[in-house]
Amino acid sequence: MDTLYLDCRMGITGAKIFGALVDLMDNPNAFIYDFNKLGLSGVSVEILPDALNGIKGIQLEFRRRSSNDLDMYDEELDDDETGRRHRKRGRSLQDITEIIDDMAISNEVADRAIRVYESIFKAYAKANNRDESTVRLHRTASKDVIASIVGSFVALEKLKPEKVIVSTVAVGGGYTRTPRGKMPIPIPEIQLLLDDIPYTAGTEENDLCTMCGAALISEIADESGNFPEMDITKSGAGFGVRTFKSGVNCVRAYLGKFLFTSANSSYIKLTADLFDSVDLVKLGEGLEKVGINSICTTEVSRLDGAKGRRLEVLCSNDNADSIATYIIENTDTKQVVRQIVSAYSE
């Protein structure tokens, strides 16, 4: 199975994820050349080859096509008809959708990029107790961020991994300033966006994860976990702009074949010995309703010669406690033994 693993232990931004995926290409410069022709007006992407602490990769630079000396974060400043500079009111979800739909990309890429923004708007609205229709994003809706989100899905479409696994995400530590004042890291929006992805503080007392990065990794990831056993065919790295005090500011990407020479899944096995008469069919039906993965029974004998049945069920860690309680309440057993077991699976 072609598997992509993303190492996010030094934080994530859209640009770092996009850069790591571009670095996996056979010809990164040709990929970026083609990407710049997809119709995202006003901004172009350039590759800056880089190497830090022995890690080779690339840093992506986003430039305004009209003037190369404009700050890359100045996207929300624009010229009106009089030539005066003014701050725009930000982009709505509809504004961003129209920008993405105008690009010469596949429907799947457009749909995935729009889903990322839908999740960002939903999280922002919930964290700020706002109606989604009233939300306007500034920095997160700038053209370079849109480019990094769309570009990541264009790259994934070309790489065609069958499975994407991501590491625990470093979000940073300490405090950050927001329109709501000083807040601990991670801010509520990022907590909501990383709802299904494990995260940790990491090594830096700083923001390490942006809303774009959090929403993008949640859409990309099929699962999260430790580095799987892989036959690696390509590796890459996407660098951020800041210099970290500890570690390297990058996302690392590995593409290869998933190997089945080691167990890659885990379950909880619950075991109980039953010696009184129990309707095993009824018990099995009840256990299926509370969420077991499998069930089996084997004959067992006590030291006094009494015959019974040993019940074994596999389940997830999340519902193991409720299943153990169900077994105790519906059988004569006084004890349920719990074990963590490994399994081989795709």
Q: What pLDDT score does 50 carry?
A: 78
pLDDT at site 154: 98
pTM of the model: 0.72
* Per-residue model confidence (pLDDT) at position 82: 35
Question: How many residues are given for the chain?
Answer: 346
pLDDT tens track, the chain, 346 positions: 799 999 999 999 999 999 999 999 999 999 999 999 999 988 999 998 877 778 899 999 998 865 544 444 344 333 333 333 444 568 999 999 999 999 999 999 999 999 999 999 999 999 999 999 999 998 899 999 999 999 999 999 999 999 999 999 999 999 988 878 889 999 999 999 998 899 999 888 889 999 999 999 999 999 888 888 888 999 999 999 998 888 889 999 999 987 765 556 678 999 999 988 888 889 999 999 888 989 999 998 888 888 899 999 999 888 899 999 999 999 989 899 998 887 766 5
What does the pLDDT read at residue 127?
92
Residues 74 and 85: their CA atoms lie apart, in Å, by 11
Closest CA to 211 of 87, 123, 132: 123
Q: What is the pLDDT of residue 343?
A: 75
- Residue 52 bridge partners (DSSP): 55
Q: What is the pLDDT of residue 172?
A: 93
Nearest-angstrom CA–CA distance, 237 and 122: 30
Q: In what order do the strands lie in the sheet with 230-239?
A: 43-52, 55-64, 230-239, 250-258, 2-7, 163-166, 223-224
SS (H, E, C) the chain: CEEEEEECCCCECHHHHHHHHHCCCCCHHHHHHHHCCCCCCCEEEEEEEEEECCEEEEEEEEEECCCCCCCCCCCCEEECCCCCEEECCCECHHHHHHHHHCCCCCHHHHHHHHHHHHHHHHHHHHHCCCCHHHCCECHHHCHHHHHHHHHHHHHHHHHCCCEEEECCEECECCEEEECCEEEECCCHHHHHHCCCCCEECCCCCCECECHHHHHHHHHHCCEECCCCCEEEEEEEEEECCCCCCCCCCEEEEEEEEECCCCCCEEEEEEEEEECCCCCHHHHHHHHHHCCCCEEEEEEEECCCCCEEEEEEEEECCCCHHHHHHHHHHHCCCCCCEEEEEEECCC
User: Domain-by-domain residue ranges, the chain?
Assistant: 2-258, 265-343
| Cβ 310 vs Cβ 297: under 8 Å | yes
265-343 CATH, one of 3.50.50.60, 2.160.20.10, 3.40.50.620, 3.30.70.120: 3.30.70.120
Cβ–Cβ < 8 Å for 124, 173: no
Contact by Cβ (8 Å): 206, 172: yes
**pLDDT at residue number 210:** 95
Residue-level pLDDT at 80: 32
pLDDT for position 201:
92
